[in-house]
């Protein structure tokens, strides 16, 4: 019996060392953000309009299986960076869009900056789960997100990924 217990313990430890997750440290936005990705990431950029300001939105992502690990970064234009209310409204708009993109209604009170929150998809995105956190400074908005099918969500790896994001504050 004792040998079976040791074998089970060893099997559980080996399951935690999945070869699918090959963690690496990545600098994003010219070093403004550091993150640990579970595989080689790629970056896409596109301009977005917000309240009369054009912002450059950058998404750096890596996927493992059906899970997508992403860090978004938006360098704020000087005018937006100087206006605390406008920055806060921008952050709320970004958080609200994460809920709406999964067909969920944003809550009345949005999560505080840096606090991890969960959105479960409904409607066409039913069965999808998103774990995310948003950080806002006077220079940038940073968002960390992990999205996957709810029944296959990599909770431990998602938590590890989100804890590893460090934004230049």
Q: Give a yes or no: residue 66 inside a domain.
A: yes
Indicate the range of 1-5, 39-43, 64-68 predicted with least confidence.
Answer: 1-5
Residue 29: strand, helix, or coil: coil
CATH code assigned at 50:
3.40.1000
Domain total for the chain?
1
135-153: pLDDT as tens digits? 998 889 999 999 999 999 9
What is the Cα 100 distance to its own chain's centre? 16
Q: What confidence tier does 18 reach under pLDDT thresholds 50, 70, 90?
A: low
CA 97 from centre of chain? 13
pLDDT, position 15: 46
Whether the predicted pLDDT of 63 surpasses 90? yes
DSSP annotation of 107: P
- Give the residue numbers spanning the domain of 109: 21-167
Q: What is the mean pLDDT of residues 121-130?
A: 83
Place of tokens 């605390």: 84
Q: Is residue 75 part of a domain?
A: yes
**CA dist 168 to 95, 149, 157, Å?**
20, 31, 23
pLDDT value for 107:
87
Residue with tokens 């940073």: 142
């Amino acid at each position: 019996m004792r040998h079976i217990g040791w074998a089970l313990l060893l099997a559980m430890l080996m399951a935690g060392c999945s070869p699918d997750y090959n963690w690496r440290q990545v600098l994003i936005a010219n070093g403004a953000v550091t993150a640990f990705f579970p595989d080689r990431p790629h970056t896409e950029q596109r301009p977005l309009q917000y309240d009369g300001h054009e912002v450059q939105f950058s998404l750096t992502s890596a996927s493992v299986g059906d899970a997508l690990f992403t860090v978004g970064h938006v360098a704020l234009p000087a005018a937006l960076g100087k206006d605390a209310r406008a920055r806060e409204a921008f952050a709320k708009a970004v958080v609200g869009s994460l809920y709406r993109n999964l067909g969920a209604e944003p809550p009345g009170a949005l999560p505080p900056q840096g606090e991890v929150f969960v959105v479960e998809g409904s409607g066409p995105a039913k069965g999808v789960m998103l774990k995310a956190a948003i950080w806002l400074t006077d220079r940038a908005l940073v968002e960390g997100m992990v999205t996957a099918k709810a029944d296959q969500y990599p909770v431990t790896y998602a938590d590890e990924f989100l804890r590893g994001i460090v934004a230049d504050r």
